[in-house]
Structure 1
Amino acid sequence: MHTKLTLAAALSAMTLAVAACAGPGPSTAPSTAPPSESPATSAAPAPDFALDIAGAPGRIAQAGLAVLTAEGNVDHYHAHLDVLKDGKPVAVPANIGITAGPDHRANGISALHTHDTTGVVHIESPTAGQVFSLGQLLTEWGVLGGSGAPGTGTGPLDGWTLYVNGEKYNAGIRDLPLRAHDEIVLSYGTAPAKIQASYDFPPGE
Structure 2
Amino acid sequence: MNKKLALFAALPALALGLAACSGAADASAPSASPKPTATAAAGFELNTIGADERIARAGLKVLPAEGTAEHYHAHLDVFFNGKPVTVPADIGVAEGPDGKPTGISPLHTHDTSGIVHVEAATAGQAYTLGQLLTEWGILDGQDATTAGTSRGTLDGWGAYVDGAKYGGPLADLRINAHDEIVLYFGSAPEKVPDSFAFPAGA
* Pairwise TM-score range, normalised by the shorter structure: 0.7 to 0.9
1:174 partner SS: helix
State the Cα distance separating 1:71 from its structure 2 match.
0.2
Tell whether the 8 Å contact from 1:5 to 1:71 is kept in structure 2 after alignment.
no
Matching of residues 54-73 of structure 1 within 5 Å: 54-73=49-68
Matching of residues 38-53 of structure 1 within 5 Å: 38-44=33-39, 46-53=41-48
RMSD: 2.5
| Structure 2 residue 111 is matched with structure 1 residue 127 | no
Matching of residues 40-189 of structure 1 within 5 Å: 40-44=35-39, 46-144=41-139, 146=141, 147-148=144-145, 152=149, 154-189=151-186
Matching of residues 184-203 of structure 1 within 5 Å: 184-203=181-200
Q: Which runs of 5+ in 2 are unaligned?
A: 16-24
Tell whether the 8 Å contact from 1:93 to 1:117 is kept in structure 2 after alignment.
yes
In structure 1, give the amino acid aligned to 2:58.
A
In structure 2, give the amino acid aligned to 1:41.
P
Tell whether the 8 Å contact from 2:38 to 2:84 is kept in structure 1 after alignment.
yes
Give the structure-1-normalised TM-score: 0.82
C-alpha separation in 1, matches of 2:160 and 2:87: 16
Identity among equivalent positions (%) equals 55
C-alpha separation in 1, matches of 2:135 and 2:73: 17
Tell whether the 8 Å contact from 1:113 to 1:123 is kept in structure 2 after alignment.
yes
Tell whether the 8 Å contact from 1:78 to 1:179 is kept in structure 2 after alignment.
yes
Tell whether the 8 Å contact from 1:99 to 1:107 is kept in structure 2 after alignment.
yes
In structure 2, give the amino acid aligned to 1:8.
P
In structure 1, give the amino acid aligned to 2:176.
R
Larger CA deviation: 100-109 vs 74-83:
100-109
